[in-house]
Amino acid sequence: MRKVTLDELRTMGEGAKGKIDKIYLHWTAGYYHSFFTDYHVSIDSDGSIWVSTDDLTQRKNHTWHRNGRAIGIALCCCIDASCRADGRVDFGTVPPTEAQIDGMAKAVAVLAEALGLEVDASAVMTHCEAAELDSYGPSTTCERWDLWKLPDYPSGVIKDGGKVVRGKAIWWQHHM
């Protein structure tokens, strides 16, 4: 694992243009500062960006049946998080931080631009959103609910996680 700047991430994305169609968003269900090589990009508690590869086209095992032509980005957090069918979530003792969510949004903004992808739900999807489409998300087995909900900082109001990250990524595309 190595820490990268947004400019370095942009260069990596440019090298993968035409070979990547999707970005999937996760959390590791681990601790802060714990990185897993299942993801191309990891975001630590302070918002720093870490990569497990120099080649974003390398196939990683992050999203069931959706790993080809895809990048996996994960927040390092949520070791003991839990959810309920009614939509309530408990992020546990290692919750996503404001800096992490912002770091993920910046990474999405830079990569989507470099890859020529729109920041919309067809190209940038949480693991929960993919799991719902593939019948293993919160409305069925609840196996994968990564980023189902997230606090929308600075208010901290709990909202749809995909909308939170995509909304912030679009904002960053216009303000970086």
pTM over 0.85: yes
Q: What integer pLDDT is reported at residue 144 of this predicted model?
A: 82
pLDDT of residue 145: 82
User: Which residue in this structure is represented by tokens 């590869």?
Assistant: 53
Alpha helices in the chain (DSSP H): 6-16, 98-115, 127-133, 161-175
Q: What is the C-alpha to C-alpha distance for residues 12 and 73, in angstroms, rounded to an integer? A: 14
Instruction: Report the half-sphere exposure of 8 (CA within 13 A, side-chain side).
Output: 12
Beta strand extents in 22-131 (DSSP E only):
22-27, 41-43, 49-51, 70-75, 82-83, 89-90, 124-126
φ/ψ of 87, rounded to 5, equals 100, -5
User: What is the per-residue pLDDT for 132?
Assistant: 83
Chain segment 21-60, per-residue pLDDT in tens: 999 999 999 999 999 999 999 999 999 999 999 999 999 9
Among 3-12, 18-27, 86-95, 138-147, the minimum mean pLDDT is found in 138-147
Q: In sequence order, what are the residues at sequence separation of 6 or more whose Cβ sits closer than 8 angstroms to the Cβ of residue 167?
A: none
**What is the tens place of the pLDDT at every residue in 100-150?**
999 999 999 999 999 999 999 999 999 989 888 877 667 776 678 889 999
157: left (phi over 0), alpha (psi -120 to 50) or beta: beta
What CA–CA distance (Å, rounded) separates 57 from 35?
Answer: 19
